[in-house]
Structure 1
Amino acid sequence: MTQQQASKIFGKGLIAFSRYENEDSCPDTSPRLLIELAIARPDILKTLADRANVTIPLWKERCEDEKRMMAGQCPAAASTRAPITHE
């Protein structure tokens, strides 16, 4: 995800995400919690991205990987990722 996409999804400026990425500053509490929630629950990230009209790179591929893991084709990895909603 680009800084521009992240700024649209999470409602912070492009410069803010550049500073976060370069570790020049840290997000305030609200955006930090929202980012943590989106990481833990990819379905929430997808909802936020859809509302911001942002396409998440490789979303379809991730959903396909998730389906394979849930089908038991990669059981070790299945326990390490949060389930996602498929659209």
Structure 2
Amino acid sequence: MRGTLERLALLLMTALAAALGLLSLALSVGQPGKELLQRIAVEILVGLLSSTFLDQLVTPALYFRIGDESRKKDSSGEPETEEEETR
């Protein structure tokens, strides 16, 4: 969780810069010649928002859950790999 908070500012600055750059193109409804580009800009913005959401909320939650299971295995005292058995 700490790593997520450390990366939050960098990720949000990058996503915000990209979103602001695409915002004018996404809002250009009805301008001739921009019909296709407007749709592409909207799709990129949706993908950017969803990937930012997944990166900041879902990934740490999954890592916390999976990491919690591996910590339980480590605390049982049984070695997980052959290298740990030789030590």
Q: What's the TM-score once normalised by structure 1's chain length?
A: 0.27
With the length of structure 2 as denominator, give the TM-score of the two structures.
Answer: 0.27
Higher helix share: 2
